[in-house]
Chains A and B, each alone.
Chain A
Amino acid sequence: MSTHTADSHGEEGHSHHETVGPGYATPQAAIEQSERERVAYVVGLYTGTDVDAPDFLAVVDVDPDSGTYGEITDRIEMPTKGDELHHFGWNACSSSCHMEGLERRYLVMPGNRSSRITIVDTENRAHPEIVRVIDPEEVHELDLSAPHTVHCPTGGGVMISMLGNAEGELPGGFLELNEDLEIEGRWDLPGEIEMNYDFWYQPRHNVMISSEWAAPETYQPGFDIEDVEAGKYGHRLHFWNWEEKTVEQTVDLGEEGMVPLEVRFLHSPEATHGYVNAALSSNIFHFFEADGEWHAEKVIDFEGRDLEGWEMPVPALPTDILVSMDDRYLFGANWLHGEVWMYDVSDPANPRHADSISVGGYFGDVREVKGRELAAGPQMVQLSLDGERLYWTTSLYSTWDDQFFPEEKENGSVMLKADVDPRRGTMTLDEEFLVDFGDLPDGPARAHEIRWPDGDCTSDVWQ
């Protein structure tokens, strides 16, 4: 298998832009030149349930003109059970838009529990196929485990954040795949960081930012508040010298910055601003460069809410965020409260609440869609490239779901959608859209990250 091919895209591929490689010349070009998403790739999983089947990649029809709109039209089963598919990513994105012959075609799908990495070829968009499997042993050999975020730096290789060492303890690090999507080696020198989670890089400023969850041995079995008190959960951001592969600065977010998860840089290659969600503290931090240093400041604070039967206020738990392609809005999901929100970030240091939808979770006003009862709140979010449709799924992580929304295991997750008006800064729940992962031949499944074949707001980076 080679990720380089001479062929151009199939008929559904994007073809009207001046780049020679994958993706778009600029974030604005992505908005102008992309077509409406017709297919969504969504991670579906059975790990941690008693359904005896492997996790899968779901092909979801999101084309309103199609007869199977809102249905899961294909499932690509992983070769082995027990992966816990979680985040995944492409072999190439707009950071390689000048690379002739490189295509956004292969999905790199890590098993967060198994450390197995499965490569899926999406040449046939409706029916992708598994073309390679990297076994856990190959990953453990580099003293790494628990793969998480997949990014595709310029030139065809892939980089994956790894949350643990071969024993499932600290330190984590980064794994590199070569352009044939085989293991290249370890990207970092062990010891630069201890905890790891998500990362984003901004090549023009030679910076990469990584965040912190916890060691696999800590977060995988379940969430224990004693582990937080024992300092086993993260609260730091690491600012790397991208080329030198060394950490130049670490910013401690403190008590208000517990468990910083998704690192979302603005898309403009010139930008030196971004956001990270401190999930456990229910705060959003703005990070930025000033006077040659990186800083992080809390800019959004979600208050806990009282609920009968709870000993303490229910935290919002904002577990995912993303920045729209035009860098105008920050979207996010408060999983426990049951809310998706959008903030105007045209002044990056001062986000302004634009709109919210109250749906699912412990407080959501909307309790069912198309007759399907909702349990968990919105979790993983994905936005159309044009910024007009926001989609989300409801599972966080199998063992954590069981603690907060055990219904995810019994009934499966849902994928929902809101229509966004980016001019007016408003969102409306699409009450006609429902993808029910509870209704599958093998049994109810959880659903996690969503990706589009032609790139999305959470994977594309510009050189």
Chain B
Amino acid sequence: MPRVSLEWTNGRRETVPARPGERTLEAAEGSGIDLPFGCRIGVCGTCTGRVLSGEMRHVESPRGLRERDSRDGYVLTCIAVPSTDCTVEVGTDVRARLFENPWR
């Protein structure tokens, strides 16, 4: 069973087990840890996290993630399943830093 370490920007850290095929968001919730989410179908980006180590794969096309962000290790935790032990940065700051004020 892969283990997923969740890291928040404020320093909080939790490690949760993920059953085979289980999505990261669900794995966290299964251990009583709440992560941000909206649509839960890979569209809205609310659940965006960043893989710092290990591997995850999306079980559906990650529509709420731009290709360049995907290449940089960002994942949608609602549809991302860990294939190995992973460390993921989570919390709403992760998505927010991908979208800046375009006119400034």
Residues on A close to B: CB < 8 A? 47-50, 52, 81-84, 113-115, 136, 140, 145, 164, 167-169, 216-217, 220-225, 309-312, 314-315, 398-399, 402-404, 406, 409
Q: Which one, A47, A225, A312, A402, contacts B38 given CB within 8 A?
A: A47
**Whole-angstrom CA separation of A309 from B44 in the bound complex:** 30
**Is A49 a contact partner of B43 (Cβ separation < 8 A)?**
no
In the assembled complex, the CB of B68 is this many whole angstroms from the nearest CB of chain A, namely 10
The contact of B99 among A114, A145, A167, A221, by CB within 8 Å, is A221
Given contacts A48-B46, A82-B46, A216-B44, contact A314 B39 (CB under 8 A): no
Asked if B92 contacts A48 (CB within 8 A), the reply is yes
**Could you tell me which residues of chain B, from 64 to 104, have a CB within 8 Å of some CB in chain A?**
64-66, 91-92, 95-96, 98-104
Besides A82-B40, A115-B39, A168-B44, 10 new A-B residue pairs in contact (Cβ under 8 A), listed by A number: A47-B38, A48-B38, A83-B38, A114-B39, A136-B39, A216-B43, A222-B45, A315-B103, A399-B99, A402-B92
Distance A50 CA – B91 CA, assembled complex (angstroms): 7
* Complex contacts, A145 vs chain B, CB 8 Å: 39, 41, 43
Q: Which residues of A contact B38 (CB under 8 A)?
A: 47-48, 82-84, 113-114, 220
B47-79 CB mask vs A (1 if < 8 Å, else 0) is: 010000000000000011110000000000000
Q: Which residues of B contact A (CB under 8 A)?
A: 34, 36-46, 48, 63-66, 91-92, 95-96, 98-104
Q: Complex: how many Å from CA A49 to CA B91?
A: 8
CB atoms of B99 and A224 under 8 A apart: yes
Kindly state the separation between the CA atoms of A83 and B101 in the bound complex, as whole angstroms.
24
Those 8 A-B pairs whose CB atoms lie nearest each other, nearest first: A221-B45, A168-B43, A222-B99, A113-B38, A220-B44, A217-B63, A225-B102, A402-B96
Given contacts A82-B38, A222-B98, contact A113 B46 (CB under 8 A): yes
**Which residues of chain A are near B37, meaning CB under 8 Å?**
81-82
> What residue in chain A is nearest B99 (Cβ atoms)?
A222
Closest to B34 in A: A52
- CB of B100 within 8 A of CB of A403, answer yes
Between A217, A223, A409, the greatest number of chain B beta carbons within 10 A of the residue's beta carbon is seen for A217
Given contacts A49-B92, A312-B103, A406-B96, are A221 and B36 in contact (CB under 8 A)?
no
> Which listed residue (B46, B48, B100, B101) contacts A47, Cβ 8 A?
B46
Residues of B within 8 Å of A404, CB to CB, are 101
B39/A220 in contact, CB under 8 A: yes
Contact sample, A vs B, 25 pairs, CB 8 Å cutoff: A48-B92, A81-B34, A82-B37, A82-B38, A83-B38, A84-B38, A113-B39, A140-B41, A145-B43, A167-B41, A167-B63, A168-B39, A168-B44, A217-B43, A217-B63, A217-B64, A220-B38, A220-B43, A221-B65, A222-B98, A224-B102, A309-B104, A310-B104, A402-B99, A404-B101
Pick the contact of A221 from B64, B102, B104 — CB < 8 Å?
B64
Q: In the complex, what residues of A have CB within 8 A of residue B39's CB?
A: 82, 113-115, 136, 145, 168, 216, 220
CB distance from B78 to the nearest CB of A (A): 10
For A164, give its contact among B40, B43, B95 (CB under 8 Å): B43
**Closest approach, in angstroms, between the C-beta of B58 and any C-beta of chain A?**
14
In whole angstroms, how far apart are the Cα atoms of A220 and B98 in the complex?
13
